[in-house]
């Protein structure tokens, strides 16, 4: 810090950044200024002299607003690491109807090009992000733009002053140069708070996004639920129901044979007993898949302990205190742990696993760590890292389960994400190739 070398470097970097911020944020006011200058040059005498400048200001502002905002976002992210989500509306698919017309979600057009253009204009016009961008182009020049313009302006003053022969001007020039060096490292920084405050999605946009997310989740959950119910129906139909029918048949036959052939009747009854036992075993497995009885009888921690006991791996379970969760959350967390344990056994070829259940201030945190070979991929989406938008990232990562290079275990992980996302829970997976794999599930819940 105290070294003169690093100081000069910081001033240099700051100066370049200030220039960039000033150039980007002042681009639109420059257009305005050019338009006004044009109007004045054309002369107040001409009754139509206002027309061209007004058109210029309007189209210039509209055309430049989005590129300027994109540039500001890019610069802020590159320099400070602060991610300002854009929140632009994404266009839906444009598809050709059987009538030959193209449907873009709003109306029919004769050609694909028209449909896409119509769609993009409609989205542009109705997207609240467009109005937010316009507001930003009005605010930024007078805040971050002015501040960032100080160093370049000071340099201009310094050059002009130092080139003049008068001593007063030279002193002023020297002072301006000193000021430019002193201010440079800081002048560009105001762009970050301004961008975060005015360029992020508004409350209404966040709400709209959340609604989209929830709609997608609801559709997902409904589909998953229906599939689950179908599976249960099929299992009951092919298993227990069929078993009971066979049982009834055997008993009916045995009843008939009782007098004539008691030996065969006895054999049939023995077979019926075995059939009843195997039907019961099937029902037991089915019940375990729906909701493990132990979860009901003992709660999450003991159910996880039982999972550990039944695992072929060396599994250690630690829990800080008892957990009384809402049953659906408990079930989701339980099946999540079961899924991770299965992955550790099947894919990671681990020999030991540590499961830690704990509280965070706002929910339950479960860490599952194995000593396997790692390399788990979560549905083609790189897991973790998206800390500021954790909930959304998890939900978004979970929704498109198909497509792309989804590895074998990725499907399970995507399903797990989806199940947790219903409760705004997240799964963070770190699994470098060569291992170890560490998965952290966090589910917010009040009832801890």
Partner 1 sequence: MRIVVAEDLYLLRDGLVRLVEAYGHQVVATAATGPETLDALLTWRPDVAVVDVRMPPTQSDEGLQAALAARREVPGLPVLILSQHVEQLYARELLADGAGGIGYFLKESVFDGDQFVDALERVAAGGTAMDPAVIGALVSSAPSNRRLDRLTGRESEVLGLMAEGLSNQAIAQRLFLSDSAIGKYTTSMFGKLGLTDDENGNRRVQAVLAYLHKP
Contact footprint for partner 1 (CB under 8 A):
273, 276-277, 280-281, 284, 287-288, 293-294, 296-298, 302, 305-306, 309-312, 314
Cβ 297 to partner 1 shortest distance, Å: 4
Question: What are the respective helix, strand and coil percentages of the chain, to the nearest 5?
Answer: 65, 10, 25
Residue 313 beta carbon to partner 1: minimum distance, rounded to whole angstroms: 8
Nearer to partner 1, 65 or 344 (CB): 344
Strand residue runs (E) in 106-238: 108-109
Least separation in angstroms between residue 82's CB and partner 1 is: 49
Residue number with CB closer to partner 1 (312 or 388) = 312
Give the nearer residue to partner 1 in terms of CB position, either 24 or 313.
313
Inter-CA distances, 238 with 231, 247, 283, Å: 11, 14, 11
CA dist 355 and 370 (Å) reads 9
Token pair, residue 310, equals: 């039944």
Environment class of residue 262 by beta-carbon count within 10 Å: exposed (0-12), middle (13-18) or buried (19+)? exposed
Q: Which is nearer to partner 1, 97 or 309 (CB)?
A: 309
Tell me whether residue 30 or residue 316 sits nearer to partner 1 (CB atom): 316
Sign, CA dihedral 36-42-45-46, equals: negative
Nearer to partner 1, 168 or 309 (CB): 309
Question: What minimum distance in Å lies between the beta carbon of 419 and partner 1?
Answer: 23
d(CA 149, CA 18) in angstroms, rounded, equals 7
CB 292 → partner 1: shortest distance, Å? Answer: 8
The nearest distance, CB 277 to partner 1, in angstroms, is 5
What is the Cα–Cα distance from 332 to 184, expressed in whole angstroms? 53
Which is nearer to partner 1, 202 or 352 (by Cβ)?
A: 352
CA-CA distances (angstroms) from residue 72 to 15, 32, 185, 197, 383? 16, 19, 18, 13, 27
| Least Å from the CB of residue 350 to partner 1 | 13
Q: How far is the CB of 314 from partner 1 (least distance, A)?
A: 5
Measuring CA to CA, which residue among 276, 268, 323 is closest to residue 299? Answer: 323
Distances (CA, A) of 372 to 316, 354, 375, 378: 15, 12, 9, 16
Closest CB 293 distance from partner 1, rounded Å: 5
What is d(CA 306, CA 160) in angstroms, rounded to the nearest whole number?
Answer: 81
Tell me if 152 sits within 8 A of 175, measured CB to CB: no
Q: Which residue number, 317 or 445, has a Cβ lying nearer to partner 1?
A: 317
Nearer to partner 1 (CB atom), residue 197 or residue 324: 324
* Buried b / exposed e along 390-424 (16+ C-beta atoms within 10 A): ebbbbbbbbbebeeeebeebbebbbbbbbbbbbbb
Q: Tell me the C-alpha distance between 97 and 110, whole Å.
A: 11
């Amino acid at each position: 810090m105290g070294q003169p070398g690093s100081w000069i470097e910081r001033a240099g970097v700051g100066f370049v950044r200030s220039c960039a911020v000033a150039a980007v944020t002042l681009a639109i006011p420059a257009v305005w200024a050019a338009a006004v200058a044009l109007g004045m040059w054309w002369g107040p005498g001409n009754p139509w002299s206002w027309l061209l400048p007004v058109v210029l200001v309007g189209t210039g502002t509209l055309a430049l607003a989005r590129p300027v905002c994109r540039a500001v976002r890019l610069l802020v992210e590159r320099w400070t690491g602060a991610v300002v989500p854009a929140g632009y509306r994404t266009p839906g698919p444009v598809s050709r109807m059987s009538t030959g017309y193209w449907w873009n979600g709003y109306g029919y057009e004769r050609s694909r090009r028209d449909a896409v253009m119509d769609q993009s204009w409609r989205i542009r016009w109705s997207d609240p992000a467009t109005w937010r961008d316009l507001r930003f182009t009005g605010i930024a020049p007078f805040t971050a733009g002015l501040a960032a313009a100080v160093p370049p302006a000071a340099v201009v003053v310094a050059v002009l002053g130092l080139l003049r022969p008068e001593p007063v001007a030279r002193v002023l020039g020297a002072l301006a140069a000193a000021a430019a060096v002193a201010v440079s490292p800081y002048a560009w920084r105001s762009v970050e708070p301004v961008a975060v405050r005015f360029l992020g999605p508004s409350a209404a946009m966040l709400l709209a996004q959340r609604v989209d997310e929830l709609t997608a989740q609801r559709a997902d959950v409904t589909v998953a639920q229906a599939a689950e119910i179908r599976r249960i129906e099929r299992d009951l139909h092919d298993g227990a129901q069929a078993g009971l029918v066979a049982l009834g048949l055997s008993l009916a036959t045995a009843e008939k044979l009782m007098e004539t052939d008691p030996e065969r009747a006895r054999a049939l009854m023995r077979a019926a007993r075995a059939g009843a036992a195997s039907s019961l075993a099937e029902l037991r497995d089915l019940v375990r898949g729906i909701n493990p009885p132990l979860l009901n009888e003992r709660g999450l921690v003991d159910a996880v302990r039982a999972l550990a006991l039944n695992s072929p791996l060396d599994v250690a379970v630690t829990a800080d205190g008892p957990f009384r969760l809402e049953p659906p959350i408990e079930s989701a967390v339980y099946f999540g742990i079961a899924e991770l344990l299965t992955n550790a056994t099947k894919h990671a070829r681990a020999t030991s696993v540590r499961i830690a259940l704990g509280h965070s201030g706002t929910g339950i945190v479960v860490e599952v760590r194995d000593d396997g070979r790692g390399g788990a991929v979560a549905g083609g989406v790189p897991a973790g890292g998206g800390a500021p938008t954790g909930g959304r990232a998890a939900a978004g990562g979970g929704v498109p389960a198909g497509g792309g290079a989804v590895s074998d275990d990725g499907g399970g992980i995507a399903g797990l994400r989806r199940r947790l996302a219903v409760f705004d829970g997240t799964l963070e997976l770190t699994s470098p190739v060569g291992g170890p794999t560490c998965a952290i599930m966090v589910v917010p819940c009040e009832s801890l």
